[in-house]
Structure 1
């Protein structure tokens, strides 16, 4: 019974999250031969001010336009 937790900053659409759940489940089936009916995928969304990279929050990096190495959404 795999349990996979994905942490992302807020902003993903419901369609994107559905694609993640489906894709991760399919990958577990393909790579590890896991049963899709017992594979759990949980997506947790984190506020951008609560996620830091290189000593700054994602919110601040985006506000400064320093997004070359991070997601812009």
Structure 2
């Protein structure tokens, strides 16, 4: 059972996250020949205050 763990910065719409999960599932299924029902995708949204870029939180960088 393939498991894909994706970490992204918070702020995307649920529609974007749904599309991401579908597209990743389709790609993994096609590439590995695994049934889509067996593919697991975990999307973890990280708060901007916990996402560092160059030693500064993304929140402070306006991202």
Query: TM-score normalized by structure 1?
Result: 0.79
Residues 27-51 of structure 1: per-residue CA shift (max 9 Å, x gap): 1012221221010011111110101
Moved over 6 A (4+): none
In the alignment of these two chains, the number of paired residues is: 63
Which protein has the bigger helix share? Answer: 1
Query: TM-score normalized by structure 2?
Result: 0.90
CA RMSD of superposed structures (Å): 1.1
Between 1 and 2, higher relative CO (CA 8 Å, sep ≥ 6) is seen in 2
- The aligned residue for residue 55 of structure 2 is 55
